[in-house]
Each structure stands twice: as structure tokens, then as C-alpha cells.
Structure 1
Amino acid sequence: MTQTKQTTQKPAYNVWQNVRFMIGHAWHSCKSVLWLCLAVVGVSLGLNLAQLFIAPMVLARVEQHAPLPQLLGTIGFFALVLAILSGLQGYLKENTMYGRVGVRLSIINAISEKACTTSYPNTRDPVTLKLLEKARYACRSNSRPAEHIWETLTQLLLNLAGFSVYLALVSGLNFGLVLAVAATTAVGFFVSRRINEWGYRHREAEATYQKQIQYVRDKAESIHLAKDIRIFGLGSWVEDLYNSALRLYAAFVNRREKIYTRACAVDAVLTLARNSIAYFYLIRLTLAEGLPASQFLLYFSAFSSFSTWVTGILQQATTLRQESLDLSSIQEYLHLPEPFRFEGGQPIPQSDAYELRLDHVSFRYPGTDRLILRDIDLIIRPGEKIAVVGLNGAGKTTLVKILCGFYDPDEGRVLLNGTDIREFNRQDYYRLFSTVFQESSILDITVAETVAQAVENIDMDRVKDCIAKAGLTEKIESLPQGYGAHIGKNIYLDGIEFSGGQTQRLMLARALYKNGPFLVLDEPTAALDPIAENDIYQKYNEMTTGKSSVFISHRLASTRFCDRILFLKDGVIAEEGTHDQLLAQGGGYAKLFDIQARYYQEGRDLDEIQL
């Protein structure tokens, strides 16, 4: 666990652009946030002025030997004003929270929508994922910039207004003294800021320590790892990791607090110097010119508050600049360019027969030099069943991702009925595919909702039919809530934990329910036992009737059900044909099939065959 090296990168959006972004977002989602900010500024400034004048005014009445009713009237007037303004300030501050939370939630929704709809390559790009993490972090709580910026802007406006009013009040007394107070305040602020910014400059290191602590904690509490922790006796080891992470973080915090203590010491010295200057001048003025005690109190309080306004302006301006960096991450992510067309484009042709072609396609993953697919030329005819086989790393899953439109090829084209799919709206293109991938997204919802991928207008007869075709009817109907049973235990206490094979069957039922013209199965039987696997194969023809299908499998016995088999090797289609044709050729496919067959036969040496 090492400290993260800090890097400096100029943000894509400046402070004004980010403030304008937030104001625009508030204007469309909750306008009251803007008016309440201005109201809080006005009421807070009025309350501050009332607090400034109450003591000098009462003291002035005493110096004037005013009658008791007049003195009490002055006190009562200010007490009433303070009570009204204090109550109004509390009411406004309490009610500002709801609108600010609403604006933050609307930004979270925008980020989530972008994350769910962005082009697939963005979901695998480390730079984009880091940007998404920063954008989400900026919205994580009430104290994060997506909400706290309203407090920053409110306080900045308040300090600017207070500075203007107090400057008008004290500048007529001695402008040199005003400059001295402002200068010592500014020096103290910038010295303290430089020291205090140590924490901000090392925020990524702190986030790394916190992330490490949270990671170990999550793993220790994970229901999925509970068995391993107990069986392998990992409890003490996990505890040591957690304590180690805590010690590193504690050392970081201890170092930070020592640095902050220096800032407090510098601020105390400069505050003492500033107050001494004001005291010295006002005492001399009192002795030399007979300045009344009430005015002495008024001016000294004004000078003290004047320095507070200056400090406040500088602090809030600094905070705004820091928050702007996080807000810039939000804008950068929301305005992230999309490599795919999601608006406009040609409509998908309405047809009962779609032909899909890879026209001399080559592809490498972003940021790498190695070609995963090289000059692939393939036509998938309407209703054709194709199997894609090969060793790990041959490019099978990548081929499927290209067919499904998750990536565009670096060279060549993907054609749907003769048209480059880049001309279509990519979302419309995705609707053509029903898929089962090795990695599946399972939400804690009901079985029926999982199959239909909907919460309303679910065709239960169709759900049951798809469940039956996937071979999961007996399991589902044995559950107390049947098709309404909840999946997973993260939300519902009565949730069901399916086995790996049952989950794959459920995903197969989901693909069948969608009923796209293309069915793509990436290792659909990987988690099934041989008997269950054979059951799926027997139903394969029924499941793919009227559809074009692409079937990836490591178990070559399954490929005999397909019209055509593609044997991939080193990113190219090395062999092509039916199961019997490829066996007759005696090439790589036949050798791989023979190796797999030997696992079920006695007395044969696997080392005899070389691929």
C-alpha cells in the first residue's frame, strides 16, 4: 500500500463555466435554489448589521443619558429585529436543503443515464472509468461540490456584500488603517491557505487509503467470501490487512494535523497583529480627539468584521476554485464524445430475414498493438446456426462483440443487409440481438421481471414458456412465490440465491423472451453438468427456430447441432465447415475434439496429440 503520486492536469472547464453549468441545472430542475441563495444573503447581511449596531447604539443612549423608556425602546427594537431576522435566517437555511438535494439528485441521474447509455468502448476505457468515478465522487454527499457549491456561492455573495458595506463604513475614518487590516488579513490567508492546501494536494493519497480500508472491510463482510474466510482461516490475515491499512491512514492524518497546527499558529500571530493595530489607532483617537466609547466600540467591531469579510471572500473564492475542479469532472463526463451514433441515422430495415456480414474486419483493443481479429470475412445468412470455437485467446468473444456492435472494427465493415451498421442508430441495432454472455447482469428483482426485463405489462405466459425452454420450470415453480420470487439477498430477506447453472438458464430464458432475430450464446452451458448440458443441446434447434444464431463453446460436442463451425486460431478463421467435415479434415478442430473426447475414455494419453 503506497502513497499515490499526485498529478496536475488543467481542467476542461473553468470556474465560471462550472458555476454557469450549476445555475443552468438549477434553473431547469429547481429554481427555488437560486432565489433562496439571494434571500439568505440579504437576511444574513441584515442580521450581521443589526448585531454590529446594537451594542454601540445602546451605549450611545447611555452616554446621552437617555430616559429609561427610550433606552428600553432601543433595546427592544434591536431585540425584535434580531429575533425576526434570526428566525427568518433559520427558516431559509432549513428550506434551502431540499432544493439543493434535488439539484444534486438530478445531476446524479444525468451521470447514471450517461453511464448506462454510453458507447460500450467507454465502459472499458480506464480513463473514462476514472472520470466517472470522479464525477460520482463529486455528488456523493451533501458536503460534496454538486450540492455544497450553493453554500459556497451564498457565502461568497454574503462576504462580498458585507465587505462593500463595511468598507463604506470604515474607509472614511482612516483609509490607511483599512489597507493595513486588509493587508494583514490577506497575508494571513495566503500563508494559511498554502499550509492548509496540503490536504487538498494529497486528496488522492487520502482517497487511496480510504479505498483500501473500505475494500478490505467489504471483502471481510461479503456473503460470497464467508465460506473461504472460514475454511482457509483467513480471518486473522484479513484483520492484519485491515489494521495495516488503518495504521497507514492514521500516519497520514497525523502528518496532516501537524501541518494544520502550523497554519493555526500563523493565523493567531497575524490576528494579534491586526487587532493590535486597530486598538492602537482607536485608543490614540479616543485620547487625542475624545472619540466616544460607543463609536470606539462600533469602529473596532467594524474593523474586526471587515477582516472577517476579507478572509471570507478569499476562503470562499478558494473553495469555489477547488470545487470547480470536481464539477469540471462532472461536465467532462456528461459531455464525453460518443463514438457511436445514438441520435438520427438510418432506420433499421424492417425484414423477416437479416444477413450479417463481416467485411475484411480487423480489430485491436484500444491502447494495444496486438490484432485480436485479422481480416475476418464472414457472412451469417438468415436462419443460419453458427458455432465459434477455438482455444482461449483466439478471438471468439471479440468476434461476437464486433457482430453485436459493441466495438467498431479498426479495418473493414460490419454490414446488416448490405448497409454499414455505423449508419444506423446503435440503440436500434442492439434491439436485433438476444444474448447470453459469460458475465450476466442480475438485479435483485423478481424472476418474472428478470426474464421480461420489465416491471409492467409482463406477458406471463411467454415468461413461463421461455423458462420451460431453458429447463428451469421445476426449480421456479418449487419456490414459495414462484415467478414472483425475488433474486438475491442484498435487498430482500426472502431472496433466492441461484446456482451458476441455474443463473445461466435464467439468462437464456431472458434472451428467449426478448426474441430478437439474432441469438448470441457465449458459453451458455459452461456452468452446467453434462446431463443438463445435453438437455440444452436437445432444445437448441427449438430455441433457434427462425433465428440466426452464433454459439460460442469450449465443448466441441455441442457444435454438431450447428449448420457451420468456425475454428478460430490467432485471430483468423483457420477452419470452416460442419462438425463431420472438420473431423474429416483432421486439422486443429479434429485434434481439439479428440483431446476433449479422451477425458471420457480410458487408457488414452493426452500428450499424444499436439495442436
Structure 2
Amino acid sequence: MKNKNKNKEKVKPLYSLPSNIIFLLQKSWQMDKTLFFATLIRIPIVVLLPLLATYLSKYVVELVSNGSSAGTLITYVLCISAAILSLHLLNNFVSTKIEWRAYGNRFLYLNLSNHKIMDTDYDNIESPDGQTKMQKAINTLTNNGGGTQQIFSQFVNICSNSIGLVTYSALIFTLSPWIVLLLCGMTIANYYVNKANNYWVHKNKDHWVPIDRKLGYISNKAGDFEVAKDMRLYGMSGWFKNVFAGLLADRMVWSKKTEKRGFAIDFFSAVMTFIRDGAAYGFLIYQTTQNGITAAEFVLYFALISQYSNWLLGLIESYNELQATSLGFCDLREFLDLPDHFNRGKGAELPLNSPEIVFDHVSFSYPNSENTTLKHLNFTVKQGEKIALVGINGAGKTTLVKLLCGLYRPTDGEIRVGNVTIAEYNRDEYYKLLSVVFQDISLMPISIAKNIALCEEKHIDRERLKQVLKLSGLYEKVQMLPEKENTLLLKSIHEHATDLSGGEKQKLALARALYKGGNIIILDEPTAALDPIAENEMYLKYNELTSGATSVFISHRLSSTRFCDKILFLEHGEIIEEGCHDELMKLGGKYADMFNLQSHYYKEVVEV
């Protein structure tokens, strides 16, 4: 029973329909008052149009039956027709205004979502749960039927249908209250069936959204220029097709289930409509033949009953649509409301110089993982000291770096930078301390200069740019390009752009780190694409260029980190050996074994 209750709590929407409507209208008032007022103005127009048309027919029949003059008849028809025409024109104008501005409203939310993706705490979007929340939010925004666009027309529909329903109920009630009860009862039954289906769709989204994310990944990679060579040389196209076909088959299972439920509900709705309207019209015919209501009254009530069904069905449909939209909008709000745990307010003052770093009994486990990635790490990096993190893959080196960068919080213990725990700094200010180069280097389709400075053209320090290009070893390559440092990157985006080799990308990343000039330097295997000799030279150059900065280096090639003041050898998330290169070699432990094993492959580096 407990598990069942947990599942129910898990799929229950976090935000109610009224809460979502109020949220959207408040945002609309803040971001686009024209859209807000246009939405309110259209509601009475939608109610008045069919009501005027109904009374036009009734008055025409009544005037003809009473033998009124042609002039009187024409006057009535022209006046009511003019009012209807005016309302039609106003309705078209307002509905077009709503449609256009609602389209823009969706992009305002898309902008909010993109900002959240780029700005929220790193751990919010790296986890599978965070990825699913992000994908569900994006799905809400990537089509014209998304809640942030359709909510306004749906709000008009539900309000106008509600007002129309109350008005028509009062008019039909004068004929018979039983007709009102019949029409309401049948339609309410239809409503509950649709409501149950909406909740079923919302509850089961978590089954197909991860599949959609995987299908999107496969589709993107299939056309990604970065993997085009591997795709062809290793014959991966067949494998990609099979993976895509398998995922598509899984997705189609859920699509078929959804369509079958939709068909069954449409059939049920058609049966209810037939019974409801048939009974109502039968009663009206009976009243005409047995109780002698006039022709004008027959026309009036016939039109009222016909439109009443539309109001009632429209209310149910618009409510179901609004509810489905609200459930989808819950996905967006849930993502936008993901809490940030790191300090975003006033923080401690940043150290002016390269700070000391202390890991004090630091342990870390990834969310929903039973394994402890890092276990009770205790070490100190003195001011201006350079340390190396070494060990086999999976030892926890990159995780340690992510903790130091403030991308994650320790599960236990604390990390102090400059005698202050990282949590006490303002998150974004703390990032200014860091110059980090990861193994996976991201280049953007902008100029080389902008890729290094990461700012607008007018703010780039050209002398500093030239200096870091020379220091990183990329200057000669850049000078050979037609537009030098203003050359655009990524041929897949720009026709006249250039692409850099793996080693050149890493040199650019080093230039980027040098340009930023952080007081803490972190290199997480950025030179993996270089040969051992080139990597060793690069690390030695980096050691020289960053003298005085507190630095952390990670490399699989132990010869590249011999210059460091201290080396930490990690295994299974623990520091098992610590000391400088000579000390660890004398110890004759795992570091020495790995170093000697590697030295057979690049003796030249060892002898440097």
C-alpha cells in the first residue's frame, strides 16, 4: 500500500489549474499588457455573436407571423446584422492580436527556459532526473500547441463558454428545467471521462519522454559533423538505424496506447451527444405539437438548445484542453522552479591572490547512486602550489575537480578556498577565480578572438589576445588564416569558416584559460589529443606561464606532471599515495609501478 501511495504522490501535478492560470495571467500582465486586455475583451464578444444571431432569427419569424411591414422587418434585420458584423470585425481583429502576441509569449518563456538551462546549478541538469525535467519543459515550448501560447485562446473559450452556458441555461429553464438537467448530466459524464484520460497522459509522460530524448540524441548525432568520419569508417550507420528503430518501436507502443484511448473517448462522446441532443429535440417537438408554442418560440428554443449543446460541449472541451495544457505547463514550471542550492546572494569577498585550497574530510556520492565516488579526502594545496591528480579512469579525479569548481556540493565534509568554504562565496563571483580547461572542449561558431575572450568584439583586449595566442602556441597557425584571429570557426555553420585539429582546439582552450587569468588554474586532461612529448612540453610551458597561481593538473601520462609540487594518486575515490614525483618513486608503490609501465612507451619524455 505504501508503494502505491508513493506512486500516486509522484504523478500528482505540483501546480493546480487555477494556480497555472493565475501565474500565466500575472506574467502576461508583466510582459505584455496588450495580450492581457485583448484576452479579456474577446470573452463577451464570443458570447454575444451567437446570441444576437439567435434573436435575429426569432424576431424575423415573429415579425413575419404578426404581419409586420417590410420597413419594420428591414429595420430590425439591418440593426441586428450591423451589430453582428461589427462584432465579427472586432472579434477577428482581437483574435488575430491574441494569436500573434501569444506566439511571441511562447518565445518569452522559451527565453526564460534557455536562461534557466544556462544559469541553474550544474547538478540540476546533469542528473537523469534533471535531464528529463528539462526535456519535458522543452517539449512544452517547441510547438504552437504549447501551453504558453494556447492558454490565452483556451482561457477565452472557457470563460465565454461558461458565461454562454449560464445565459442559455436561464433562457432554456423557462421552457423546462429537465432539459437543462439532461443536457448538463450527459455532458458532465463526458467531462469525467476526458479528465481521467488527461491524467493518464500526464502520469505516463515519464515513460516516453526519456525515449524522446534518446531519439533526439540519435537524430542529432546522425547529422553531427564531428562524428561523420567515425560513422563512415566504422560502418555505424546500420547500428544507428537499428538503435533508432528500436527506440521508435518503443515510442510507438505508447503512441498507440494514447491513440486507442483517444478513439474510445471520442466514440463515447459521440454516443452521449446523440442521446443528449435527440432527447432535447424530441421534447421540443412534443411541446410544439402538444402545448402549442409559437413558431417564433420554436425557432428561439431550437437555436438555444442547439447552441446550448455547443456551449456545454465547448465548456467541457475547453476545460479538458485547458487542463491538459495546464498539466503540460506544470512540466515547464517544475523545471523553471528547480531550486538552486548554491549561494546566489551576497557572498564572502574573493581572495585577491592565488588562494590556499583545503579538502577537509570530503566525501561525495552522485544523486540516486549507492556508491561513494569520493571518500574522506583530506589534503591541502598551498598558496601558489601546483598539484597533480593521477590514477586510472574512474578513480574520481574529474569529480574532485567538479567539487572544487563549485559545480557540486560535498555530501560530507567541506572545501575551503582562501580560508572560506566555497558555499560562502557568491556562486558566480567564485567562478571568476577559476580558469578551467576540460578534456571536452566547446567551440562556438564565432571568431577565434571571441572564442578565446568570450565577450563582444569591442571589449576584447587585442594585446592580451595576441600574447595568449603566442603563449599557447597557436599564434603561427592563426597568422596563416585569411582573417587571422577574426576567422570564424566551424565550417558546418559558416561557409568560409575554418576547423581546428584536436591539438589546435586544446591550444585554443589553453589560450582561453590564460586570457581569463583566474587565480586557480585547473587542467582536466585537456592535452589528451597531443602526443606525449607535445603534452609534456605544453604542461611545462603552462607551469611556467602560471607561476604563482594555485594549480591542479590531471593527466593519465604521469611524466607530464613530474614538475608539480605534490602528486595525489587516487584509487576508488581515495588518496592512496601522496608526495612529489621523487618521493613517490622512492616509495615504490602504485604510482611508481604505473610510471615505469608508461615509461616504456615514451622514453623520450621520461628523459626530459
TM-score by length of 1: 0.90
Which of 503, 517, 522 aligns to 1:501? It is 503
Which of 460, 473, 477 aligns to 1:471? It is 473
Which amino acid is the alignment partner of residue 422 of structure 2? I
Equivalences for residues 126-525 of structure 1 within 5 A:
126-191=128-193, 207=209, 214-235=216-237, 238-239=240-241, 257=259, 259-349=261-351, 351-455=352-456, 456-525=458-527
Residues in 1 aligned to 2:540 and 2:420: alpha-carbon distance in whole angstroms:
35
1:588 maps to what in 2? 590
Equivalences for residues 55-66 of structure 1 within 5 A:
55-66=57-68
2:3 maps to what in 1? none
Change (3 A) 1:431 1:601: closer
Greater shift, 129-138 or 150-159, is seen at 129-138
Greater shift, 371-380 or 441-450, is seen at 371-380
- Alpha carbons 2:124, 2:338 under 8 Å: kept: no
Give the Å deviation of 1:66. Answer: 2.6
Equivalences for residues 49-88 of structure 1 within 5 A:
49-88=51-90
Which amino acid is the alignment partner of residue 453 of structure 1? L
- Alpha carbons 1:162, 1:309 under 8 Å: kept: yes
Deviations 1:327-375 (A, max 9, x none): 22333322322221111232224x3342221223232333334333333
2:119 maps to what in 1? 117
Deviations 1:461-484 (A, max 9, x none): 211211211111122222222212
Residues in 2 aligned to 1:195 and 1:562: alpha-carbon distance in whole angstroms:
63
SS for the counterpart of 1:362 is strand
Give the Å deviation of 1:156. Answer: 0.6
SS for the counterpart of 2:389 is strand
Change (3 A) 1:558 1:189: closer
Change (3 A) 1:464 1:162: same
Residues in 2 aligned to 1:132 and 1:242: alpha-carbon distance in whole angstroms:
22
Residues in 1 aligned to 2:95 and 2:158: alpha-carbon distance in whole angstroms:
15
- Alpha carbons 1:29, 1:102 under 8 Å: kept: no
Which amino acid is the alignment partner of residue 360 of structure 2? D
Deviations 1:253-298 (A, max 9, x none): 5665555444444333333333332332222322234322222111
- Alpha carbons 1:363, 1:410 under 8 Å: kept: yes
Which amino acid is the alignment partner of residue 148 of structure 2? A
Greater shift, 233-242 or 182-191, is seen at 233-242
Change (3 A) 1:342 1:285: same
Which of 533, 536, 541 aligns to 2:535? It is 533
Change (3 A) 1:518 1:205: closer
SS for the counterpart of 1:224 is helix
Change (3 A) 1:461 1:346: same
Residues in 1 aligned to 2:282 and 2:143: alpha-carbon distance in whole angstroms:
47
SS for the counterpart of 1:108 is helix
Change (3 A) 1:208 1:386: closer
Residues in 2 aligned to 1:205 and 1:408: alpha-carbon distance in whole angstroms:
30
Give the Å deviation of 1:568. Answer: 2.3
Give the Å deviation of 1:121. Answer: 2.3
SS for the counterpart of 2:493 is coil
Residues in 2 aligned to 1:472 and 1:392: alpha-carbon distance in whole angstroms:
30
SS for the counterpart of 1:466 is helix
Residues in 1 aligned to 2:374 and 2:249: alpha-carbon distance in whole angstroms:
48
Residues in 1 aligned to 2:118 and 2:61: alpha-carbon distance in whole angstroms:
66
SS for the counterpart of 1:539 is helix
Residues in 2 aligned to 1:196 and 1:582: alpha-carbon distance in whole angstroms:
64
Deviations 1:218-267 (A, max 9, x none): 34333333333433445455456556666666676566555544444433
Change (3 A) 1:236 1:131: closer
1:608 maps to what in 2? none
Deviations 1:296-351 (A, max 9, x none): 111011012112212222222222222222222333322322221111232224x3
Which amino acid is the alignment partner of residue 394 of structure 1? A
SS for the counterpart of 1:345 is coil
Structure 2: 5+ residue stretches without partners:
1-6
Residues in 2 aligned to 1:124 and 1:215: alpha-carbon distance in whole angstroms:
15
Give the Å deviation of 1:189. Answer: 4.3
Report the RMSD for the aligned CA atoms in angstroms. Answer: 2.8
Residues in 2 aligned to 1:439 and 1:7: alpha-carbon distance in whole angstroms:
39
Which amino acid is the alignment partner of residue 493 of structure 2? I
Structure 1: 5+ residue stretches without partners:
603-611
Aligned residues: 597
Residues in 2 aligned to 1:206 and 1:362: alpha-carbon distance in whole angstroms:
35
Greater shift, 320-329 or 86-95, is seen at 320-329
Which of 73, 76, 98 aligns to 1:96? It is 98
Give the Å deviation of 1:16. Answer: 1.9
Greater shift, 47-56 or 464-473, is seen at 47-56
SS for the counterpart of 1:49 is helix
Residues in 1 aligned to 2:570 and 2:214: alpha-carbon distance in whole angstroms:
41
Change (3 A) 1:385 1:78: same
Residues in 1 aligned to 2:45 and 2:411: alpha-carbon distance in whole angstroms:
61
Which amino acid is the alignment partner of residue 409 of structure 2? D
SS for the counterpart of 2:141 is coil
Change (3 A) 1:543 1:55: same
Residues in 2 aligned to 1:454 and 1:361: alpha-carbon distance in whole angstroms:
35
Give the Å deviation of 1:182. Answer: 2.0
Which amino acid is the alignment partner of residue 518 of structure 1? I
Deviations 1:417-441 (A, max 9, x none): 2222222212222211101012233
- Paired-residue identity, %: 35
Change (3 A) 1:231 1:372: closer
1:605 maps to what in 2? none
- Alpha carbons 2:35, 2:97 under 8 Å: kept: no
SS for the counterpart of 2:575 is strand
- Alpha carbons 1:540, 1:561 under 8 Å: kept: no
Change (3 A) 1:243 1:334: closer
Change (3 A) 1:506 1:6: farther
